[in-house]
Structure 1
Amino acid sequence: MTTTFEKIGSRVIPALQATVEEYISPRTGARHIHLASDQAEKVFLVAFPTVPDVSDGRAHILEHLSLCGSQRYPVRDPFFAMMRRSTATFMNAFTYADRTVYPFSSTDSKDFYNLLDVYLDATFFPNLDYLNFLQEGWRYVLKDGKLGYQGVVFNEMKGAFNDPIRALYSGIENTLLAGTTYEVESGGDPLVIPELTHQMLKDFHASHYHPSQAVFMTAGDISAVDVQLQIEDKVLSKLPALNAPRMLPELAAAWPEPKSNEVRIPSQTAKPDEHGVQITWLMGESSDIDVYFNTYLLSSGLLGDSSSPVMKAMESAGFGRPSALNGQDNGPRQMIFHLGMEGLTEPQIDLARDRIWTALERAAEEGVPTESLQAALRDVRYSQRDTASGRMPNALSRLLNALPVSMRDGDVFLAFDNEAHLVKLEQAIADPAYFKGLVRKLLDNPTRLTTRVVPDADYFKKRDAIEEARLEERTRALTDLERARIEKESADLEAHQQLPSNSDVLPRIRPADVSAEPRAALPLPSPLGDAGDAIVLPFEIASNGLSYVRVSYDVSGFAVEDWPWLRLWVDLVTQLGVGDMDYEDADAWRQRMAPSYDLNFDATQHPGGHLSMELWFAASGLREEHENIAQLVSRSLAEARFDEHERLAFLIDSQVQDRLNGLAQSGNRYAMLTSAAPLSVLRRFEDIVSGAASLAFQGELLELSKTPEGLAHIAGRLNALHRRVIAITPTVLAAGAGTDGADLGRLLKLPASQAAMPAVAPKLGTIALENAGLHAVSQINHCVVSYRAPMMQEDGAAALAVAAELMTNQLLHVALREKGGAYGGNAGYNGGTGTFLMASYRDPRLAETYADFDTAIDDLLTGEFSQEMLEEAIICVIKGMDKPNSPYDQVLHAWGLKRRGIDQALRQRFRTEVLTCSLEQIRTAVRTWLKNGEPSRAAFVGDVTKDVAGLRVVDLLGLAKKA
């Protein structure tokens, strides 16, 4: 068989060390974009335009349902089954406002083509079973004779609505992009989702999921032709040619004059200073490279740092703070540009709006320094070369960035390679009139929306009331026949969920198919002998022309009461002045010096229960910028200043208010840390510096920042801590191609150290096991229970790691997600903290979930599990260990192993014990550590008027009562 795809273009991309190839299938109109490289991680995605005109969540629910069984794989949950039968490094699906994407990646060729087969059948030939629609989308349930709603997506979106910025963004799009698909809630509004029928969903798939609409994308060391042959064989040959034009989102109409609106957003208390204002412009099409980069330059020039005209105006207003919704937005088909402030009283709204507008007028007259725009273009080149992987493979991130351009009929090659355009822009910005003209065009653009943002403490109460009224009305009208149908459907669904998964038809990777040896860690190099007081470790890596440096201070000897202050130091120091530069000049200087810099404060737990803590400053940039990178790091550490008290007050107020406004969004993390803090010194540390236990410090900090004496105290405490930190002999990780790392390390001029060895970390006292319900207003819960467990170095660790996967795959996924309706449910073992947890995410239940946790332990001890189920759990553990790292991430991994005291022999022992783990060993470990262990429970509780499962209710706002 030969492929009928025709190559219509190809371009070598030097910055990516790759070649982009574009193909089309003339018969069907399907497109294939391939990013050919020598990367071992092989990536695939298929995407479809999904342009709903209602907020019933049909695109989102279809994404879920497509992965619930297909023609050749009539398995109840092939997606989750393949997650445990595959060594995939990434598997997921995403619903955006105008497209749905199904991506995966793997380093194993056999696994890649196995997954490709499953994904193709799932997307083009899904069964779209009615019972799965009831499970994943929405359904009525009867409890004590009263109707209620249930469904995975229904509950997922209730959690998504916690975010005030989401509500604000939706309110803006509803007006600015009226008449387009962006006007509706693509994920689904829980108040509208129950209007969706199963037939509507099937019709939506038929109209949107056809090869004529599809864009396939691949990357890595694979053959484009081999992929195309499988697409031809499994999809194109089985479907009629349609050659329909690809669906495009509608274009919003331009306005003859600006408009205004009001948007209400969820708030815990609706304090008087929680109002805001947003000014939003509709720009040109985002697939137009000129529109894209001109808007990028506007964002960088006006908002890039504290000296930028609009950012300066907002930060120096003496009231409010910059909005979380600022800058360019290329999500919709038409680019959007946002400027706004939050934290305002109602009378300050007009003042803030005028202040932003005046800053724009000034920028149109005076422009901005050319250096700031040059730094912005430098950052683009840096991102082109950067190989770091975040939550997904680097190549997949690049494909997802290029996808909208391809789907909107733009030049896909420019999405990967914009060097020629960057050169053109460098010439353009040399003339100050260019940027001034961009600002003037923005000011003159009549398609502009001004939004007054109003906090609403009753936001969720109003939504609950609407939902309850509809359910009560529906309950009153319910006939005996309808009641019987609902009860029968619930029984049928429960029976369906009890069916064995029947995964035999799915391909799988077995333990014998993976390496018996762990991937070798990067060896630590010998320190440079000519690097002053610092211990400089030079790493040679394939860096693609980038260089990295990280200066680490071991601060283990600092007292517990210092920990929140060290976290504050990390949060603030890069927003303050340096040497003779005030914070505005220093911020502009930092932006010019390097495209990437970061600080953090973290800890490592060791067997025996003691901590080591590390505070570090990292920066990276192009090889040509070594002098700048070294100067940035050296001066930031040696010349940090804390005497700008007004700036400190502004930053602290912004930080604390953001924390308080985000209580519901952070509820899952707060619950996890609160639950595990009594069991692990590392989790206790994290809770103290960034969990619920830190909220009291945040409240006290806010109070201190309100008086000159309090600000002086804060400044003095930070300065004293800083002096103590830089007096410690640092360890420097310096990495780059060839000798670049060593060269960069030698350029550093760090403060003279006084302490060669750190003191021993303080011992933490024992605290009682938790039974807490952390409360902030929300429509969902997050439930967590934790148990003490052995660390990776101790006996039983491997068995518990496999037990967590077996429990997730075979018990909790069904109980919590399929039956309970939570968006997520899992067990997890952490060898770095010595803890085992069970957790649910965006959960409509509470007491029932904790009962399911207890049942899962008993079922694991007494239930029947096949050898195949055990091997799937083993593969899940192994693939977590084998996830590939970028070259610089390998440096950080090697350093992390050293800090934890984990050598190759220990890694080999753990891997061998995982690969040879038996059900008997799992049960022994579960009985010892879980059944006979003592649970520590903590949940985020959205509604304390319902059954809270005996948890002690803790008001999160009350923890920060001084705020």
Structure 2
Amino acid sequence: MYNDPRYQLLETTESPETGSTGYRYEHLKTGAQVLWLKNDDDNKAFGVGFRTPPTDSTGVAHIVEHSVLSGSRKFKGREPFMEMYKSSMQTFLNAMTFSDMTIYPISSKNDQDFLNLADVYLDAVFFPAIYDKPEIFMQEGWHYELFREEDPITYKGVVYNEMRGAYGNPERQVMQQMSQTMHPDGTYSHESGGFPYHVPELTEENFQAFHQRYYHPSNAFIYLYGDVPAEDIFNLIDEEYLSQFEKTEPNSEVVPGTIPSAPIKAEHYYNAGSGAKPSEESYFGYSVILGETTDLYDAFMQPLVSDVLISSESSPLKQVLLEKKFGQAILPAGSDGIFEEFGFVVKGADEARFDEFIEVTEATIRQMAEDGVDRGALLAALNRTEMSLRESGGSLKGIYFFIRSVGAHRYGVNPMDALNFNQTFDRIRADIENGGFEKYLKERILDNPAKVMTLHLPQAGQFQVLDDELADKLKLYKDSLTREEIRQLIADNERLLKYQQTEDSPEDKATIPKLDLNDIQREVAEIPSEKQILDNSTLLVQEYPSMGIRYLHLAFDLDFVTTEELPYLAYLGRLLGIVDTKQRGYSELNNEIYQVSSGFRFAPSVLRPVDGSNYALKMMVTTSALAGQSKRMFDILAEVLLETTFNDADRIKDVLQKMRSDMEMGFESSGHSVAANRASSYFSPTAKINEQLGGIDLFDHLQELLNDYDNRQAELMRIITSLYERIFTSKGLIAS
């Protein structure tokens, strides 16, 4: 515990779930809330978060998040965030905009680095340079771009361009349309990230007013985790920052808005390419409000319901929808706001079957509620949910706990209650044994009026129409300007370009904190490891604090794999654990896996040995389990590695179609990474292999395979079976 007259200790709570003692403080002068999860973890974490509910879709919260990291009172460079990212010893450094809050988390194992990073972030959020440098708003938000008098004016800006890219993804459009149908008014009717065609409506005045209103200590939640230098960090927070403010009323409460009083059926259109057919490329949406995040029971039931109904490979509803060929993939849909929602989307649907989809969905859920849900499936889902909470982000658990705690705090929930989940899970387990889950399905889904069912039809050129209207609007704007105003606009753009291209001065660079050699521990931390040679295999055993969870990593040799077989390695990794074995079908197998473990993951990977020698291609198999479940976990894993069968062509096709859908979504959300990996593949042998295992090369191969699946399925199963039989042997195996 840390005692300081500037901070009032509100509560001390033991937290076995996080391995911490939680100390909750209030800063007396400003009312800022401070939570310290004290434990001996040397990967210390810090975070500051604010409630930032939007009142429009200009993306102001998102733009402010970007902008405050572009220089501040003490740290004068244009991008202190990027400088710290490159030069610090951070283990995590980021900022995130949610539907109603914005957070800034960091972590580091080095004490001085931890203090430096916290200092940079606190100065950024409380004293940003946005009031002195109009170029920041122009760069990060939007601006009129013009460099020659004869050219048309266009819009440019980091967030503006980012959100244009984000809305190029049909799933993003569909999810937002579902949300707006469920939430026609209030906070969640708006796009906090910014709808690209509304971003230019944001004025610099409103941008600054948003920061002034919400980025105040009275609206702040400050978080500390691990073995932090307590006196130093508490002094820094008060002396450099909080003490310079007075307490205010932030008026930052979320406006939940109107929720449906009766089920709603709605039809929407999403932007699609030319030739998109409503009979093949529509989407169906189904969403229902289960409760509010303020009720911890509902907060933990939401992932359980989603898992049982549509996320798991054994989910009855998912199986029925796929078996009846309603679409190519089933995608979960939810929210990160005050409402706990169960929802999903069917991708690649036929518009004519929308009513049938609703009937089958509700009939399947009703049958589950009346006949009872398979106990194996329920226990598997409960174990998977609990394991994800206990593992808590692995080495970044401090960041994970921050997101959960600030997420609870924003709605007035005690963050320690959200972190300490054992009691709530005990209640859920007891309810499951007494039919509580089936009752929950009936009351919260079937009989719930707060429900929307949406049909999303492709409309070619929808955004092109908006772009044409935008071009006309910009032309009218340019026509309204005098020649002198046009020249001033060009001068503004040239000033922005100069700002972007001018290197920081030596004086500004010197303001960015750097570590001294004396701040860096010279000794490399070692994890005690025991090495055993067993016939053709190597076993490594490490003891490390892990909250009672045991972790297993297996690396199987792939030296014999040919270039032509590389795509099939990726397919094999995707199929293992979710197709039949000789002992059981994939649905029962899925339940068995998740009753005893966190799941099995199979990934062909290119590894480079620490001695710098040539790379090695390995099939990596990873899993984890509570100590008491370890033996059963090994038994089920052995079954998957030695007894999987690849003779269900329809099931394999379903899995590969979902793989294609996931890759499409990944390409649309991370196009820059895809392009970089593709470029690297032309000069890097390892990048070339990765391209064939997960890049555009693999996608093209998968697309060709699925387009001619009936003719190629026999060859596919032959190659996959051959690889499977050659890979999973003890020769060259490394187990850790």
**TM-score band w.r.t. shorter chain:** over 0.9
The answer to whether structure 1 residue 162 and structure 2 residue 168 are counterparts is yes
The answer to whether structure 1 residue 249 and structure 2 residue 249 are counterparts is no
Matching residue of 2:293: 286
Cα distance between partner residues in 2 of 1:456 and 1:132: 36
Q: CA deviation at 1:465?
A: 2.1
Matching residue of 2:23: 21
Matching residue of 1:346: 351
Matching residue of 2:412: 409
Q: CA deviation at 1:507?
A: 4.8
Match of 1:618 among 593, 602, 622: 622
The answer to whether structure 1 residue 480 and structure 2 residue 448 are counterparts is no
Deviations 1:289-324 (A, max 9, x none): 021123233223223533322122122213414432
Contact 1:402 1:416 in 2 (8 A): yes
**Cα distance 1:602–1:426, how it changes in 2: closer, same or farther (>3 A)?**
same
Q: CA deviation at 1:395?
A: 0.5
Q: CA deviation at 1:110?
A: 2.1
TM-score (norm 1): 0.71
Q: CA deviation at 1:100?
A: 1.2
The answer to whether structure 1 residue 539 and structure 2 residue 542 are counterparts is yes
Aligned residue type for 2:58:
D
Matching residue of 2:472: 469
Matching residue of 1:720: 722
Cα distance between partner residues in 2 of 1:575 and 1:108: 42
Contact 1:364 1:440 in 2 (8 A): no
* 1:373-392 pair list within 5 angstroms: 373-386=378-391, 389=394
SS in 1 for 2:337: coil
SS in 2 for 1:577: coil
* 1:429-440 pair list within 5 angstroms: 429-440=432-443
**Cα distance 1:23–1:522, how it changes in 2: closer, same or farther (>3 A)?**
closer
Cα distance between partner residues in 2 of 1:117 and 1:669: 30
Match of 1:359 among 353, 356, 364: 364
**Cα distance 1:564–1:212, how it changes in 2: closer, same or farther (>3 A)?**
same
Contact 2:17 2:419 in 1 (8 A): no
Matching residue of 2:154: 148
Matching residue of 1:32: 34
SS in 2 for 1:509: coil
Cα distance between partner residues in 2 of 1:380 and 1:689: 29
Cα distance between partner residues in 2 of 1:132 and 1:241: 28
The answer to whether structure 1 residue 192 and structure 2 residue 201 are counterparts is no
SS in 1 for 2:658: helix
Q: CA deviation at 1:160?
A: 1.9
Report the more deviating stretch, 616-625 or 539-548: 539-548
Aligned residue type for 1:477:
S
Cα distance between partner residues in 2 of 1:663 and 1:227: 41
Matching residue of 1:222: 228
Contact 1:165 1:324 in 2 (8 A): no
Matching residue of 1:587: 590
The answer to whether structure 1 residue 47 and structure 2 residue 49 are counterparts is yes
Cα distance between partner residues in 2 of 1:437 and 1:657: 31
Q: CA deviation at 1:344?
A: 1.1
The answer to whether structure 1 residue 508 and structure 2 residue 510 are counterparts is no
Deviations 1:87-141 (A, max 9, x none): 3332222121111112222222222223333322221222312122112211112
SS in 1 for 2:331: coil
Cα distance between partner residues in 1 of 2:294 and 2:436: 25
Deviations 1:811-864 (A, max 9, x none): xxxxxxxxxxxxxxxxxxxxxxxxxxxxxxxxxxxxxxxxxxxxxxxxxxxxxx
The answer to whether structure 1 residue 448 and structure 2 residue 457 are counterparts is no
Q: CA deviation at 1:730?
A: 5.0
Matching residue of 1:705: 709
Cα distance between partner residues in 2 of 1:546 and 1:457: 51
Report the more deviating stretch, 185-194 or 356-365: 185-194
Matching residue of 1:335: 340
Matching residue of 2:635: 631
Matching residue of 1:395: 398
**Cα distance 1:732–1:509, how it changes in 2: closer, same or farther (>3 A)?**
same
**Cα distance 1:86–1:550, how it changes in 2: closer, same or farther (>3 A)?**
closer
Q: CA deviation at 1:417?
A: 0.9
Match of 2:315 among 299, 302, 308: 308
Aligned residue type for 1:565:
Y
Deviations 1:781-809 (A, max 9, x none): xxxxxxxxxxxxxxxxxxxxxxxxxxxxx
Long gaps (5+) in structure 1? 735-963
Cα distance between partner residues in 1 of 2:433 and 2:39: 35
Matching residue of 2:14: 12
* 1:35-184 pair list within 5 angstroms: 35-128=37-130, 129-144=133-148, 145=150, 146-184=152-190
Cα distance between partner residues in 1 of 2:464 and 2:613: 45
* 1:930-945 pair list within 5 angstroms: none
Q: CA deviation at 1:634?
A: 0.5
SS in 2 for 1:615: strand
Contact 1:536 1:733 in 2 (8 A): yes
Matching residue of 1:863: none
Matching residue of 1:295: 302
Q: CA deviation at 1:580?
A: 2.8
Matching residue of 2:212: 206
**Cα distance 1:113–1:174, how it changes in 2: closer, same or farther (>3 A)?**
same
Aligned residue type for 2:694:
S
SS in 2 for 1:113: helix
Matching residue of 2:431: 428
Matching residue of 1:677: 681
Q: CA RMSD in A?
A: 2.6
Cα distance between partner residues in 2 of 1:3 and 1:85: 35
Cα distance between partner residues in 1 of 2:399 and 2:101: 16
Q: Percent of pairs identical after alignment?
A: 25
Q: CA deviation at 1:273?
A: 1.3
Matching residue of 1:687: 691
Contact 1:311 1:322 in 2 (8 A): no
SS in 2 for 1:569: helix
Long gaps (5+) in structure 2? none
Deviations 1:906-957 (A, max 9, x none): xxxxxxxxxxxxxxxxxxxxxxxxxxxxxxxxxxxxxxxxxxxxxxxxxxxx
SS in 1 for 2:90: coil
Cα distance between partner residues in 2 of 1:2 and 1:343: 59
**Cα distance 1:82–1:535, how it changes in 2: closer, same or farther (>3 A)?**
closer
The answer to whether structure 1 residue 262 and structure 2 residue 267 are counterparts is yes
Cα distance between partner residues in 1 of 2:23 and 2:516: 36
Cα distance between partner residues in 2 of 1:228 and 1:514: 20
Deviations 1:378-405 (A, max 9, x none): 3344334426547xx2201111122110
Aligned residue type for 1:148:
T
Cα distance between partner residues in 1 of 2:174 and 2:707: 29
* 1:753-764 pair list within 5 angstroms: none
**Cα distance 1:209–1:668, how it changes in 2: closer, same or farther (>3 A)?**
closer
Contact 2:182 2:260 in 1 (8 A): no
Q: CA deviation at 1:511?
A: 5.6
Contact 2:90 2:108 in 1 (8 A): yes
TM-score (norm 2): 0.92
SS in 2 for 1:28: coil
Cα distance between partner residues in 1 of 2:687 and 2:649: 33
Q: CA deviation at 1:550?
A: 2.5
Cα distance between partner residues in 2 of 1:688 and 1:427: 48
Q: CA deviation at 1:664?
A: 3.5
Give the number of equivalent residue pairs. 725
Q: CA deviation at 1:565?
A: 1.1
